Structure 1
């Protein structure tokens, strides 16, 4: 609880924390909005495919002309790892770009904050290990749900509780898995015109709706905490905050989990579309078990909502502020040398599943698109069947037909074995399987 004090000391010494940002989209813009209000934190370089758009983003979040003039805006990612930069924030959303940028930062001795969860799930355990060997920090992004959930898990374990389940909330119905960008806005209560005028990307927003983003985030949490992944994929049970300890306990104790120590996502909608009472759509949670009767008595004495036995309780954060909270990761890495969550093992993977009958010769369009959605799987099961990771299911051609609802496998697509991203993924599998 001393990050602000440490930052003040750096600021007083005239040694600001200097950060390079790659990707000035929504997450990046939210981070940038906090920079002028955080003395001792500077972002002297911003990398984006459209530097003018990045400059406009800075204006829109309140940067004054002097700060903008003092900032380098460029397309050249190599500039982000030069000079006296302390940390790099990777916020592009592209798995290939994220892996490339992270490895460049690590090689240059810079800390890396990986907003790009897609890249983290594709090869994060290997990147994290490379960072440790190089003496720098590889960190999940505070403000995003994986890091916030990992923090709750760490809190529970450090205080002596058994972690039964952890995850987040979302809006989910089974039919959402087949939604394409053409039909996404009705589920957000928007018209296509309204979304376009607000600069909202339909494929990106669809990845949140069709279950892919939830799968990616739960894989990141499993890999960072050692929690297990449901054998059959996420169940998305309808559940409000008061019912977390009742629903998310092992089946043998009357809950829905196949065992204790799992990741899971709860839905803010009942299966008939009615809203769940006191839903957790925007938040994160951990369900914990009292290790003894004394602790269970304390649950009751201090008003925790528990299951009927009194042994299971939950802690949760109802909201997350995404990029507005990212300073915590940056400052933790630079000032403490600690990540706000990082992958330590390969327990969860996200496989591509056909949204419809796919024909040989079709080109997959990746996360949130028209062809596939991402399903959470135990990593060992994914590797056993040769499932194609969702992070590689973009701009690859099918060499055979795949039925609606079936996994897409490596053997179903044309793959360039010399591709750098594929090489890194295969190296990660070999090292951590």
Structure 2
């Protein structure tokens, strides 16, 4: 609760927290809009595939020409590893690029704030382990829902409560799994022209709609908080804030969840399309379980929304401000040496499911595209079945026909040959990039995340 004071002290000392940003899209732009108003924070470098577009973004969010002129704009995100920044923000949304950038920044002794949840779910445990070993911070991005949920879970546990469930709200109907970028904007109440004028990427926003982003974010929360992903995937029960505690409890006591200690997403729409009363579309929640009758009585006395038994209660935050809150992560990393949420174990995975009947030879187009959507599943199941992560389902070719609705496996696509995992050479290659993802059995290969995803291929051990 003293980050602003710590940052002000750095400003008074003439040592602002030097920060580099990779990716000046919507998330990055929202962060940039706040930077001029935060004492003790300075963005020194901005990397974007189109530096002129990044400069335009800075002008659009109110940067002065003097501030723009004092900032280094580059095309290559790897260049920020030599920028001298204290903190590097990875906000590209591209898994392969994000892993390369994060690794380069950590190698150079810089803290990393990983906005790129896609990359975090793919290989976050390895990057987090590397950071801890080097005395650096690898952090989720505050303002994005996974970090906000991680904060609520930590608060609940620090206060002595059991966490029955945690997650977020979204707009969901089962039919959304098959929406493509061509049909995304009417679901947001926008025309394609309005979306283009606002700099909104149709494939990225389609990933929010088709369930992929929810799968990725819930997997990230599970990995950071030690929670479980439902065995059958997210159910997206329709639920408003008044009913969170009633719905998000185990079936054994009348709820809709398989058990306790799980992640779940609630929908702002009933299955027939009617809006849910007092929905949580833009927010996050945690379901607390009282450890005894006295605590349950306190829930009631102090007005928490509870279930019928009084032992389950909901705490929620109705909104999140995405990039406008990102500076909390940057300052926490630099001034406290603490992440605002960080991957600790591989418990959840987001795997690729066919959006339509796919043909052998067809090229997959990844998150939010025309070919696949992402489904959350337990990491142990993903490992056992060698399922294809959504983060690897981009620009890879199918080996065989896949019917609509089928989960893809690693064998269904053309990837680099995976070496025999039993050989010493394979094990050494895994150790060379920071260690094992966990005893469930995935490891990374080589030192770089190259064009053929050689380092992203998950090898069962």
CA contact under 8 A between 1:22 and 1:46: conserved in structure 2? Answer: yes
Report the TM-score, using the length of structure 1 for normalisation.
0.97
RMSD: 1.2
Which whole-Å deviations, capped at 9, do the CAs of 1:375-430 have from their partners, x for residues lacking one? Answer: 00000101111110000000000010001000111111100248835343346x66
Residue 203 of structure 1: how far off its partner (Å)? 0.7
How far has the Cα of 1:83 moved from its partner? 4.7
Deviation at 1:77, TM superposition (A): 2.3
1:140 aligns with 2:171: no
1:145-156 correspondence runs (5 A): 145-156=145-156
Work out the CA distance in 2 between the residues paired with 1:289 and 1:133: 35
- Counterpart in 1 of 2:33? 33
Matches within 5 A, 1:204-223: 204-223=204-223
Task: Specify the alignment match of 2:432 in structure 1.
Answer: none
Q: Which residue of 1 aligns with 2:69?
A: 69
| Number of the residue aligned with 1:312 | 312
Partner of 1:425 in structure 2?
456
Contact preservation (8 Å) 1:123, 1:424: no
How far the C-alpha of 1:237 sits from its partner, in A, is: 0.1
User: For the residues of structure 1 that align with 2:87 and 2:196, how far apart are their CA atoms?
Assistant: 33
Question: What residue is the counterpart of 1:244 in the other structure?
Answer: 244
Q: Deviations over 1:320-368 (max 9, x none)?
A: 0000000100000000000000000000001100001000000000000
Q: Deviations over 1:55-93 (max 9, x none)?
A: 000000000011011111111223312253100000000
For the 8 Å contact 2:169–2:265, the answer to whether it is kept is yes
1:190 maps to 190
Q: Distance in 2 between matches of 1:197 and 1:141?
A: 26
Alignment of 1:155-166 (within 5 A): 155-166=155-166
Q: Which residue of 1 aligns with 2:386?
A: 386
Please say which of residues 6-15 and 330-339 is displaced more in the overlay.
6-15
Matching residue of 1:410: 410
Which whole-Å CA distance do the structure 2 matches of 1:226 and 1:377 have between them? 14
Within-5 A mapping of 1:25-424: 25-417=25-417, 420=449, 422-424=453-455
Q: Quote how far apart the aligned CAs of 1:132 are.
A: 0.7
**Would you say the 8 A contact 2:99–2:449 is kept in 1?**
no
Structure 1 Cα separation of the partners of residues 225 and 23 of structure 2? 27
SS at match of 2:232: coil
Taking the aligned partners of 1:403 and 1:44, their CA distance within structure 2 comes to 49
Q: Does the 8 Å contact 1:151/1:341 carry over to 2?
A: yes
Q: CA deviation at 1:198?
A: 2.8
Give distance in 2, aligned partners of 1:218 and 1:29.
24
**Partner-residue secondary structure (3-state), 1:359:** coil
- Given that residues 179 and 210 in structure 2 are in contact (C-alpha distance below 8 angstroms), is that contact kept between their aligned partners in structure 1? yes
Q: State the alpha-carbon separation in 1 of the partners of residues 353 and 49 from structure 2.
A: 30
How far apart are residue 39 of structure 1 and its match? Answer: 1.5
8 Å CA contact 2:416, 2:454 repeated in 1:
no
Deviation sequence 1:105-132 (CA, Å, 0-9, x none): 1100000000000000000011100111
Whole-Å separation in 2 of the counterparts to 1:374 and 1:285: 22
TM-score by length of 2: 0.92
- After superposing on structure 2, the runs of 4+ consecutive aligned residues of structure 1 that deviate more than 4 Å are none
Equivalents in 2 of 1:29, 1:286: separation in Å? 29
Q: Tell me the distance in 2 between the aligned counterparts of 1:78 and 1:350.
A: 26
* 8 Å Cα contact 2:392-2:456 kept in structure 1: no
Structure 1 alignment gaps of length 5 or more: none
Question: How many pairs were matched up?
Answer: 430
Q: Distance in 2 between matches of 1:396 and 1:83?
A: 33
1:49 partner SS? coil
Taking the aligned partners of 2:318 and 2:226, their CA distance within structure 1 comes to 24
In 2, distance between residues paired with 1:35 and 1:201? 23
SS at match of 1:264: strand
CA distance in 1, matches of 2:234, 2:162: 21
